[in-house]
């Protein structure tokens, strides 16, 4: 499995979209389509991610095209940055690999009413305080424990359960994708092992690329949309990137094991075992969806509790309540998930099973699922970049519905492998380099930090520029990190 470049066809359709025609491989039901421009194509051709886009095009019931966003990179089975929509009524399948291990990995953005000036000289101590208080790192447990029936309620009701406990507000719910709760979650569909791993990890960051960052709004591109979200230049914000922790990994692992013989049972031939799938209208498919929704709800509760702890740290640090600091949730998006959504395919309205693996929902203005406050501007899309460059807030545009089943990119996209990133660092202290650029970094694992260094990622600005020009989402503000907390 040495790294080889992709040598198959990639035909340019327009300035931001490339096609892998469905006659490239036997078994492809539809074309592959990759949103990218010339600047990204060398990287995209450098590994097997386009081959994975072609493989996904073989899944039964897939609609229109197997899609990939400009932050596409090589994954296992599905590529990262992929979108795959299937029609259950046409034998469409659901695939645990199309969601990934970290079910409902996602991002949320919280603003404050503080400007950069207000915190001049305090960023280092604020970051230290966050680093001490926010549980992070491999297998780290947190201050919250949910056992038995209580844990089941989180799995069924997500953030709604936390609202009952006084750990979430009505606005927090409203400003979370799906209201922080997918219906149809059934805790009996998940194993005792998954339950056990969920007991003490809700409200913990984890490790790897997960983070909590203090950021400032660097530049505003759409003043009206920014204002609607409560964002303005130099405003201090907090971005949180985490997922469903060990519970989600276990749900995916259990499901893939159960799915080992399922494709054969339904006569589905696959080029890669990691693409294992079942018809949405089958017991196996339903059971996976029920379990996946539990993990998704757990992930939303996790990010809610991370935000709740951050609010407490800010309140203690500044000696004011989080309400008076106006630490309101701008929005929370999932970027590893499968959902049943309504879309129009060849002028017919259909309910599709949309897999987003490293892709973000980006519904446009006037869509019924966009909260009232954002109804006129479109759904906020939070795009985390690397810790040295920038993160973005976008809003969904009508093009996302026309071209990408209401989806856009999810981040910068990895460029270097982890080992290559460590070689590239050559023992340099990444934290010191970032400090010189005005970014305070606190991390438990220096090797992990080298793996996550800015050079390991594509330029998020290019990725965002492509989805903007492709009409999937519109640039609203760019944020830059000032304090980074990593596991």
Range list of H helices, 46-199: 49-56, 123-133, 148-157, 159-164, 170-174, 192-198
**51 contacts other proteins (rule: CB under 8 A):** no
Least CB distance from residue 76 to other proteins, whole Å?
3
Stretch that binds other proteins, among 13-21, 59-67, 76-84, 328-336 (CB under 8 A): 76-84
DSSP E strand boundaries for 369-446:
380-383, 391-396, 407-408, 440-443
Least CB distance from residue 420 to other proteins, whole Å?
6
The three-state secondary structure class of 201 is coil
> How far is 430 from 266, CA to CA, in rounded Å?
50
For 48-58, b/e burial (b = at least 16 CB within 10 A) is bbbbbbbbbbb
Q: Are 470 and 403 in contact (CB under 8 A)?
A: yes
Q: At what angle do helices 283-318 and 123-133 cross, to 10 degrees?
A: 130
Cβ contacts of 129 within 8 Å, gap of 6 or more: 313, 316, 317
Site string for other proteins, 91-120 (x = CB under 8 A): ---------xxx------------------
**284 contacts other proteins (rule: CB under 8 A):** no
Beta strands 440-443 and 473-486, pairing class: parallel
**356 contacts other proteins (rule: CB under 8 A):** no
Residues 375-414 that bind other proteins (CB under 8 A): 414
| Residue 353 buriedness (CB in 10 A; 0-12 / 13-18 / 19+) | buried
**5 contacts other proteins (rule: CB under 8 A):** no
Residue 43 bears catalytic tag = no
**77 contacts other proteins (rule: CB under 8 A):** yes
> How far is 144 from 272, CA to CA, in rounded Å?
39
> How far is 391 from 97, CA to CA, in rounded Å?
27
111, 210, 367, 410: the catalytic one is: 410
Least CB distance from residue 460 to other proteins, whole Å?
15
Site string for other proteins, 185-224 (x = CB under 8 A): --------x--xx--------xxx----------------
Least CB distance from residue 212 to other proteins, whole Å?
16
**50 contacts other proteins (rule: CB under 8 A):** no
Least CB distance from residue 143 to other proteins, whole Å?
18
Q: What is the DSSP letter of 168?
A: S
Of 250 and 360, which CB lies nearer to other proteins in the complex structure? 250
Which residues carry out catalysis? 410
- Positions in the binding site for other proteins (CB under 8 A): 1-3, 47, 73-77, 80, 100-102, 137-139, 193, 196-197, 206-208, 246, 249-250, 252-253, 256-257, 260, 272-274, 276, 414, 417-420, 445, 447-448, 487
């Amino acid at each position: 499995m040495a790294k080889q470049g992709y040598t198959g066809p990639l035909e340019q359709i327009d300035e931001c979209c490339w096609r892998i025609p469905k006659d490239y491989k036997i078994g492809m039901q539809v074309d592959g389509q990759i949103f990218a421009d010339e600047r990204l194509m060398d990287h995209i051709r450098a590994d097997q991610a386009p081959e994975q886009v072609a493989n996904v095009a073989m899944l039964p019931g897939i609609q229109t095209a197997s899609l990939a966003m400009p932050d596409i990179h090589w994954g296992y089975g599905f590529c990262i940055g992929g979108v795959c929509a299937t029609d259950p009524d046409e034998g469409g399948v659901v695939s645990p690999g199309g969601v990934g291990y970290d079910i409902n990995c996602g991002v949320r953005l919280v603003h404050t009413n503080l400007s950069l000036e207000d915190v001049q000289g305090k960023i280092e101590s604020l970051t230290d305080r966050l680093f001490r208080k926010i549980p992070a790192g491999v297998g780290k447990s947190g201050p919250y424990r949910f056992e038995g029936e209580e844990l089941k309620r989180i799995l069924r009701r997500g953030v709604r359960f936390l609202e009952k406990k006084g750990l979430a507000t009505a606005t927090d719910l409203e400003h979370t994708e799906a209201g922080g709760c997918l219906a149809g979650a059934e805790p009996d569909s998940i194993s005792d092992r998954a339950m056990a791993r969920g007991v003490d990890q809700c409200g913990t960051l984890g490790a790897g690329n997960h983070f909590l960052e203090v950021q400032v709004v660097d530049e505003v591109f759409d003043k009206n949309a920014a204002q609607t979200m409560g964002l303005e230049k130099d405003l201090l914000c907090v971005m949180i990137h985490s997922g469903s922790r060990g519970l989600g990994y276990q749900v995916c692992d259990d499901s893939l094991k159960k799915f080992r013989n399922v494709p054969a049972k339904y006569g589905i031939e696959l080029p890669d075992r990691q693409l294992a799938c079942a018809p949405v209208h089958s017991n196996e498919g339903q059971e996976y969806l029920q379990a996946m929704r539990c993990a998704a709800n757990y992930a939303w509760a996790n990010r809610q509790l991370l935000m709740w702890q951050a609010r407490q740290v800010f309140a203690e640090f500044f000696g004011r309540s989080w309400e008076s600091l106006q630490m309101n949730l701008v929005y929370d998006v999932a970027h590893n998930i499968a959902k049943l959504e309504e879309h129009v395919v060849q002028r017919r309205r259909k309910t599709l099973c949309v897999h987003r693996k490293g892709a973000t929902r980006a519904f446009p203005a006037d869509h019924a699922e966009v909260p009232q406050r954002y109804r006129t501007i479109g759904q906020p899309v939070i795009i985390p970049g690397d810790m040295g460059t920038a993160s973005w807030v976008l809003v969904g545009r009508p093009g996302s519905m026309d071209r990408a089943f209401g989806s856009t990119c999810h981040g910068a996209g990895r460029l270097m492998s982890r080992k290559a990133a460590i070689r590239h660092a050559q023992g340099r202290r990444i934290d010191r380099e970032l400090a010189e650029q005005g970014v305070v970094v606190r991390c438990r694992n220096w090797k992990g930090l080298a793996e996550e260094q800015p050079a390991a990622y594509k330029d998020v600005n290019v990725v965002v520029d492509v989805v903007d020009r492709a009409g999937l989402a519109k640039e609203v503000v760019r944020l830059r990190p000032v304090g980074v907390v990593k596991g």
